[in-house]
Amino acid sequence: MFQSFENKSSPEQGPPRLAALREAMAAAQVDGWLVPRADVHQGEYVAPGDERLAWLTGFTGSAGFAAITQDKAGVFVDGRYRTQVRSQTDTGAFQPVDWPETKLAQWLRAALPDGGRVGFDPWLHTLKEMDDLARALSGTGIECVPHANLIDSIWPDRPAPPLGKITTYPDDLAGKTSAEKRAELAERLKAQGHRAAVLTLPDSIAWLLNIRGADIPRNPIPHAFAILHDDTRVELYVHPDKLDALPANCTKDGVSAHADTGFTAALTILLSPVRIDPASIPVAVVETLRQTGIDAAHEVDPCILPKACKTEAEIAATRAAHLRDGAAVCEALSWLDAQAPGTITEMDVVTRLEEARRATGKLLDISFDTIAGGGPNGALAHYRVSETSNRTLQEGDLLVLDGGGQYLDGTTDITRTLPIGTPGTDERAAFTRVLQGMIAISRLRFPKGLAGRDMDALARYPLWLADQDYAHGTGHGVGVYLCVHEGPQRISRASETPLQPGMILSNEPGYYREGHFGIRIENLLVVQHAAPLPGSDPADSAAGRLAFETLNFVPIDRRLIDVAMLAQPEIDWINAYHAQCREKISPLLGPDASEWLDRAAAPL
């Protein structure tokens, strides 16, 4: 199994560890300390040795941070994790803080009314983050000061850095060689007058060099730094123990590999100006450039947008991965439907789904720990079943099943909500509203230039009519055999990046009733040029329209749909989608699952 069911949270360890941190703060002469969930590469995912937030507080969610003073300790989480943080931390020692409703600066002002020194590790915080915080604290007397990491000084058995092998990613799946990508980006650097760009995000480096890694579970990325020069050269910096095992394309055609211990020194000899992304560059890198007198140009990581706009080869590959994965999910759901309520657990479902994906012979990893939340556990949007939380699925439960696979040709992610036995009336009504929002996004045609923030409300509108909502974005970007969460594209109130052809996004509205049930329905979509409609305005046709192509093909559970709530175009969409499921997936299934699919995807 890729997934384990170990309970990784130790809330009872929180108070003594907090006491040790406060002693270290006193010795360092700081009045506060910031604990992010971050590493030196500033990606979303971190290795065990960088799980400082979880080690200190017990909270294991994938997003959040803590602020510690001598008499207060706040753990900041968004709406996805507010139930989870209360269950995983000692709330007598740690105060859950609703973020972003409560800003860090606001909290620090209340915690340090007379001012003070707040320490932070400059490798674990970005330039934008700390500049924003400094502005918000202006006039308070509170000063943020860089310092060696205090958590590391009190963590006696901190895991060693990962040493995953770096491998080559096939050019035919990438659609472009590394040399072609580097030449395109180098031309853009020249056009903007930038001599080099500093890259710290592992997925950017993996994409640019057509390599993959194994340093982070579920995400095939290498821990590395890189410097891209305006003459197409790239200097790659990795752990010294990885150098001898690097693939050939890391040391040819203008790519040189070095030990990461030399990265800081390499920064000091760059020619100005150097491009850095304030949203991902660690403060320590910025300070090194500043102290050396090297001018920094603040621009977005040059790999971000080209990586997000997939090539035709990447899109074709990910289509194939989703058909394979869809067949595996259908095999697992066929099995699930044959089990009587009260006879299987959440862990059984996770295990069976992974077995089905493994049976394809192509699974390299799961793309994240599978979410299988039954009944009240389904109300935790990012629930991870453990041996201590494992629930037997009972009559009347809803099961939120959200998982994905990492295949060489694509990264998959899909959520289905399933009834265990006979669903209730409230559950069916809420499910249908969520489905209506999901269909609205799936059917959308839109002008070029619109961003995810312009679409997010469409998915929520049916829920809003019933005074319901969900506390997460509607969709995130997805890579191709890279990270299942990829920027900059999102369908979210906060997303300002215009959607472009080739971008892959999730479409996953939901609804969560704490203590009772959860609902989420998710497909992945790829942005495509939309064909003109008959009778459309010529000016609009000339301007062009975009639309979404659906990648996942697994039936949406008909037992949870209140057909009377649907408009005819919504019914037509479901029937057309289910017809595609039968056409595309049936040939890939065994006899039992094929019969199940015929029933599950029958017309409404």
Residue 508's nearest CA partner among 525, 494, 496, 495 is 525
Give tens-digit pLDDT for 301-328: 999 999 999 999 999 999 999 999 999 9
Residue 114 has a pLDDT of: 92
pLDDT confidence of residue 505: 98
Share of the chain above pLDDT 90, in %: 92
The predicted structure's pLDDT at residue 81: 84
- Cβ atoms within 10 Å, residue 539: 7
Q: Do residues 74 and 36 lie in contact, with contact meaning Cβ atoms separated by under 8 Å? A: no
Distance separating alpha carbons of residues 98 and 80, to the nearest angstrom: 10
Rounded average pLDDT over 547-556 = 98
Query: For the residues of 405-473, what is the DSSP string, one character each?
Result: EEETTEE--EEEEEESSSPPHHHHHHHHHHHHHHHHHHT-EEETT-BGGGTHHHHHHHHHTTT---SS-
CB 178 within 8 A of CB 209: yes
Name the region of 476 (left: φ>0; alpha: ψ -120 to 50; beta: rest): beta
Q: Which residues pair with 119 in a beta bridge?
A: 33, 145
Q: How far apart are the first and last CA of the chain?
A: 37
* pLDDT band for position 376 (cuts 50, 70, 90): very high
Is the pLDDT reported for residue 23 higher than 90?
A: yes
Tell me, letter by letter, the H, E, C secondary structure of 266-323: HHCCCCCCEEECCCCCEHHHHHHHHHHCCCEEECCCCCHHHHHCCCHHHHHHHHHHHH
Of 8-12, 189-193, 426-430, 522-526, minimum mean pLDDT range? 8-12
What structural domains does the chain harbor?
11-154 (3.40.350.10), 167-303 (3.40.350.10), 309-600 (3.90.230.10)
What confidence tens digit (pLDDT) does each residue in 122-132 have? Answer: 999 999 999 99
| Distance separating alpha carbons of residues 504 and 490, to the nearest angstrom | 9
pLDDT band at 541 (very low <50, low <70, confident <90, very high): low
Which residue type sits at 574?
Answer: I
Model pLDDT, residue 542: 58
Whole-number average pLDDT of the chain: 96
CA separation for the pair 346, 387 (Å, rounded)? 10
- pLDDT-derived band at 82 (thresholds 50, 70, 90) equals confident
pLDDT at residue 255 greater than cutoff 70? yes
pLDDT band at 402 (very low <50, low <70, confident <90, very high): very high
Transcribe 44-77 into DSSP letters. S---GGG-HHHHHH----SS-EEEEESS-EEEEE
- What confidence tier does 45 reach under pLDDT thresholds 50, 70, 90? confident
Measure CA 148 to chain center.
28
> In this model, does residue 43 exceed pLDDT 90?
no
Q: What is the pLDDT of residue 80?
A: 81
State the Cα–Cα distance between residues 464 and 590, nearest whole angstrom. 41
Task: Identify the CA nearest to 62 among candidates 40, 41, 36.
Answer: 36
> Beta 142-146 vs 116-120: how paired, if at all?
parallel
pLDDT tens for 505-523 read 999 999 999 999 999 999 9
**Whole-Å CA distances, 340 to 9, 336, 344:** 32, 9, 8
SS3 400: strand
What's the pLDDT at 44? 82
Q: Which region among 83-97, 243-257, 392-406, 473-487 has the lowest average model confidence (pLDDT)?
A: 243-257
Average pLDDT for residues 461-484, to the nearest whole number? 97
Between 7-11, 134-138, 457-461, 490-494, the lowest mean confidence (pLDDT) is in 7-11
